[in-house]
Structure 1
Amino acid sequence: MKKLLPLCAALLLGCASTYAQTPTIAPATASPATDARVSAIKALQIPNGTITFAQRDESPTFTAPDGKVQNNLPPRTIVKLVLNPAKGSNINVELWLPDAEKWNARFLGLGNGGSAGRINPLSLAWPAASGYAVATTDMGTAPNADSGVNNREVWKDFGFRATHLMTVAAKQIITAHYGKAPEFSYFNGGSTGGQQGLQEAQRYPQDYDGIITAIPAHCRTPLHAYFLWNDQILKKTPFTKEQEAAVIAAGNEYMAARETPPVAGKFVSDPRYTGKDAEAVIALALKKDPSLTPAHADALRKLFDGPRHTVTGERIFNGIPFGSSISSAHGHLYLFKWVFGANKKLEDINFGNDIDTYTAALGPYLNAENPDLSAFEKRGGKIIMTSGSVDSIVPTHATLDYYERVITHVGSLEKTQSFFRFYIIPGMGHGGGPGIQNTPNLLDVVRAWREKGTVPEMLHGKRVVNGKTELEMPLYPYPAKTGWDAATSSFKAVDGPRGGVERVAPAFRPAAAE
């Protein structure tokens, strides 16, 4: 997705780039005024924080240790700081501040990916090149996810605190540097960054004027229970690449009758399905690949259904979407180590008492499930939220249901869409996928909505392969869908169904806590 996150900077799969050393910064030959501004930043008193680095850089090019390059950078001041709001909390933050004449008077907060723990400096380069004062954080989980083992302060930092404190400190530094506060502030994140964005809207509505929350891992503890559920199943009954391909093809073929002609059989646009649909896909997969056994069929029933509580039968999370990767839908099990310790055997964790313990410990901090966005809406805030229809890493079911719960709380779809719009992107996975891979720069879209009142009634989606556009498709805000006009052989908006997914039980969405 073109500058959506940028996507790889915020994907759950660990695309948050790492770097073993701080890239070399070429110090500028600065004017006395510039030196004074840098000195003023160094002298700032940050609540519960310390500025560890402040230096101006005039190089027009930034090269990350992995060789990726960003050109056309303006002269900028780079600032690093550490925040310690509590014993056991250690949050790293980095800002890039373009020189005043290049600054667009806007602040951009960037989300992270996976378990975070590192800052990707390249993610700061393109916003700085576009004129933004930009900041990101490691979410307090450095040097790796094991930092959260039995450390409740890290749970709070990762869940909500690091992003908010980054935002507060960044605005303080920006105001000191430019002599005025940002005119507008935006947040852009996906996956873990999507969790961060929704936490901001729910807990700290004053922080941002507009938020992009893409493929958001907001239903965090149930999502990782889904990973564990799949992990335990796939360890007992693994699938070969060929078998997985047959299952994906079966899902695409079975759902083809519900698709528009240009995409039928290529991918699944609407991830909602029933148990009857699942049985039909399993039967078709068995026909496609005779090596699939009855054990594989039983495993697929559980994978497509998703985890339930073994005692109460309550829904913990939904299952793997048709047409999506099975092999990507497990792992990411660090949260269980946080609660049960590094030595706990993951295969021994049960979906009864153990899941209750895990949910009670982490859910109040990590989950961003509060449908009350009234304070954010009243201040004029705008949210654009997206999900991929074939994303098996953060399936869209819980996100769709969250949006429905917001509608119920607000009172109507129309009022909800006046400040919050949700798009299910056909054929998109967790970055890439067989369908739409590119949308407009959603930062530009949310800015135009917030600042000019330009409502995003439709987005233009594309699939581009080797520089060639293979598919163009209009994307409409849920519950509308992309339909087909047979008379003109073109796409059109059609009314789509509301809901249609089983709700994660309230027991697994505990109320937020500080």
Structure 2
Amino acid sequence: MRYPSLLVSTLLALLASIAPGVAQNKSSFIDQSDNAGFVAPTVDAQMSCQSLNSSNFSDISLLKAIHFDATDKIPAHCQVTGYIRPEIKFEITLPARWNRRIYMFGNGGYAGENLADPTRIETRDQALARGFVTVQQNTGHDAATYNLGDFANGNLDRLIDYASRAVHVVVISTKSIATHYYDRHPTFSYWDGCSTGGRQGLMSAQRYPADFDGILAGAPALDFTGTQLWGVWNARVLEKAPISKAQLRVLAKTVMDKCDRPDGAEDGLITDPRACKFDPQKDLPICEKVVSSDCFTENQAQALTKISEGVKINGEVVFPGVPWGVEGLDDGGESGWNRWIISDNGPSRQLTYGETFLRNMAMLPESGKDIDWRSFDFDAEYTKIQAIRNILDATDSDLSEFQKRGGKMISYFGWADPALNPMMGVNYYESVREKLSAERTDEFYRLFMVPGMFHCRQGYGTDTFDAFTPLIDWVENGKAPDVIQARQVKGGHIIRTRPLCAYPLAAKYSGSGDLNDGANFSCTTSDGK
């Protein structure tokens, strides 16, 4: 494989600065080109930054504007901070020369982030350096004050702001401030987020279709309610039959041996887990007399079957099971299950998030503080957990208003995501196609599934790709993306490339040539369909 030296050096420079912590893919802009219009006409500020301090904007309080000189990485800019009632904190950066675009990026988990967190500043500065007005917000609460979902208990305003309102009111205020500062309206507004940020993007398309011209919604937690119940369900199942990390490695190898080759390329990836017909009770080594880390008990095999089948309420599946491939190992030998589905240091992340949901949100308008996740009755209580769906879940398949006004949306999901079930992304996309027709959906919405990628990034597949540049190209130049080129980076080197194909297509090996060279793959109907 050969790659242009400029591309590799640019990519690695960006990746070197990435720190984990924010639910972003972190690869936006790495494939920027003049075709996407980054070199766009600019406008200069028409007033001083200081003068914004005496400007009046409705609903904004404690506004503070500070000028910052240019550095070797970012241009001179005006940083505006403030609050929108009741408790939404925001930060807007206004570059001295503006490309007339707004870039707003999302939150992770239960949000409430410190807006000065280095990982958020890194995301902000990538867009600021390219002339965007950038904006971020904390969804209306401070995570330093509230533990996970505690902010929502007994406070409907905070819950609604977290769910959808905060993004809406902040981007509206951003447009107003930018128009005032430059004496020009923004030409385009963009959203970039993954996980909670992906859900926020879908919420915007569904509930506030005029807010953004382009939305990049990565691994959206769109069925928020189902996701949290799923986490509790998995914890309940595995508490009775714990799986060790050593056994996870056996599981990962056994699944890969069963499901890698049938997709046409023995490359250490499962192209579409739906085509993987793995049966834990038949395919795993079952311990006969001595229990060891090299085999599984009957109870463990049954537990694995149960979580692969999904959450069942009165015998009916209401949320999909964990796909095969999520247990796969990254370059460091860590399974996707580690920390998310199992943990040898306290509860798993799935359980932690699910329990705080049950205690603080699920029983709206009642408090659930006394709920015990171990004794929670799924069958009896499920009908009580429906009011919250109308607030938190981004599952409305009617995107007709977003489509009518010319909005474009790209979504991506790792097939090996252990935090958020990738079938959510597939099922939602299919529901939109069913609602609006496949042809109409293709005009404004594309989904890209990423084999081997964990939550938003990392994993054992090609997790490094720029979906934001194609989004701009689509919005501004009308070029719909059929393929996004992706890479896998190890030790500072690109070790594999692979095309990501617009769903329902998937990358298929030609039958000859280097398996690590994406040029030897083409997009065809997925084996899982």
Give the TM interval when normalised to the shorter protein.
Answer: 0.7 to 0.9
Q: Runs in 1 of length 4+ with deviation above 6 angstroms?
A: 1-4
| SS at 1:130 equivalent | coil
CA offset at residue 281 of structure 1?
Answer: 7.2
Partner of 1:493: 523
**Structure 1 residue runs without a partner (length 5+):** 16-32, 61-70, 501-514
Does residue 1:80 correspond to 2:81, yes or no?
Answer: yes
User: For 1:11, which of 18, 23, 36 is the aligned residue?
Assistant: 23
Partner of 1:63: none
Contact 2:178 2:186 (C-alpha < 8 Å) held by counterparts: yes
Does residue 1:206 correspond to 2:189, yes or no?
Answer: no
Supply the AA of the counterpart residue of 2:401: A
In structure 2, C-alpha distance between the alignment counterparts of 1:150 and 1:285, rounded to whole Å: 49
CA offset at residue 257 of structure 1?
Answer: 2.8
CA offset at residue 390 of structure 1?
Answer: 0.7
Does residue 1:335 correspond to 2:339, yes or no?
Answer: no
CA offset at residue 496 of structure 1?
Answer: 2.3
Supply the AA of the counterpart residue of 1:173: I
Change (3 A) 1:183 1:9: farther
Partner of 2:37: none
Contact 1:220 1:367 (C-alpha < 8 Å) held by counterparts: yes
Supply the AA of the counterpart residue of 2:142: A
CA offset at residue 40 of structure 1?
Answer: 3.8
Supply the AA of the counterpart residue of 2:124: L
Does residue 1:98 correspond to 2:99, yes or no?
Answer: no
Supply the AA of the counterpart residue of 1:83: I
CA offset at residue 182 of structure 1?
Answer: 0.9
Contact 1:185 1:207 (C-alpha < 8 Å) held by counterparts: yes
Identity of aligned residues (%): 26
Contact 1:7 1:190 (C-alpha < 8 Å) held by counterparts: no
Change (3 A) 1:34 1:423: closer
Within 5 A, what are the aligned runs for 1:298-313? 298-309=302-313, 311=314, 313=315
User: For 1:196, which of 196, 200, 212 is the aligned residue?
Assistant: 200
Contact 1:109 1:187 (C-alpha < 8 Å) held by counterparts: yes
CA offset at residue 108 of structure 1?
Answer: 0.8
| SS at 1:360 equivalent | coil
CA offset at residue 215 of structure 1?
Answer: 0.9
Partner of 1:374: 400
Does residue 1:403 correspond to 2:429, yes or no?
Answer: yes
| SS at 1:352 equivalent | helix
Deviation per CA, 1:152-191: give whole Å up to 9, x if none. Answer: 2222111111111111111111111111121100000000
In structure 1, C-alpha distance between the alignment counterparts of 2:139 and 2:482, rounded to whole Å: 34
| SS at 1:315 equivalent | strand
Change (3 A) 1:401 1:482: same
Does residue 1:240 correspond to 2:270, yes or no?
Answer: no
CA offset at residue 373 of structure 1?
Answer: 1.0
Partner of 2:235: 231
CA offset at residue 245 of structure 1?
Answer: 1.5
Contact 2:284 2:295 (C-alpha < 8 Å) held by counterparts: no
CA offset at residue 442 of structure 1?
Answer: 1.8
Change (3 A) 1:262 1:461: farther
Does residue 1:463 correspond to 2:495, yes or no?
Answer: no
Supply the AA of the counterpart residue of 1:90: E
Does residue 1:351 correspond to 2:363, yes or no?
Answer: no
Partner of 1:140: 140
**Structure 2 residue runs without a partner (length 5+):** 1-10, 27-43, 327-335, 342-349, 362-366, 515-519
In structure 2, C-alpha distance between the alignment counterparts of 1:109 and 1:459, rounded to whole Å: 22
Partner of 2:364: none
Contact 2:487 2:494 (C-alpha < 8 Å) held by counterparts: yes
Change (3 A) 1:280 1:55: same
Partner of 2:32: none
In structure 2, C-alpha distance between the alignment counterparts of 1:7 and 1:171, rounded to whole Å: 30
Contact 2:47 2:182 (C-alpha < 8 Å) held by counterparts: no
Change (3 A) 1:232 1:323: same
The CA RMSD over aligned residues, in Å, is 2.6
User: For 1:477, which of 491, 502, 506 is the aligned residue?
Assistant: 502
Supply the AA of the counterpart residue of 1:42: N
Q: TM-score, normalising length from structure 2?
A: 0.80
Change (3 A) 1:172 1:470: same
User: For 1:112, which of 103, 107, 130 is the aligned residue?
Assistant: 107
Contact 1:195 1:368 (C-alpha < 8 Å) held by counterparts: yes
User: For 1:173, which of 174, 177, 180 is the aligned residue?
Assistant: 177
Within 5 A, what are the aligned runs for 1:146-165? 146-165=150-169
Partner of 1:392: 418
Contact 2:407 2:475 (C-alpha < 8 Å) held by counterparts: yes
In structure 2, C-alpha distance between the alignment counterparts of 1:260 and 1:141, rounded to whole Å: 49
Supply the AA of the counterpart residue of 2:509: W
CA offset at residue 272 of structure 1?
Answer: 1.5
Deviation per CA, 1:362-401: give whole Å up to 9, x if none. Answer: 2101111111111111111111110101112112112101
Partner of 2:344: none
Aligned pair count reads: 455
Deviation per CA, 1:93-139: give whole Å up to 9, x if none. Answer: 1111111x2x2110011111011011244132221112110111111
Within 5 A, what are the aligned runs for 1:420-439? 420-430=445-455, 431-439=457-465
In structure 2, C-alpha distance between the alignment counterparts of 1:256 and 1:135, rounded to whole Å: 42
Supply the AA of the counterpart residue of 2:49: V
In structure 2, C-alpha distance between the alignment counterparts of 1:364 and 1:148, rounded to whole Å: 15
Deviation per CA, 1:380-437: give whole Å up to 9, x if none. Answer: 11111101011121121121011011111112x2321111111101111112010111
Supply the AA of the counterpart residue of 2:57: I
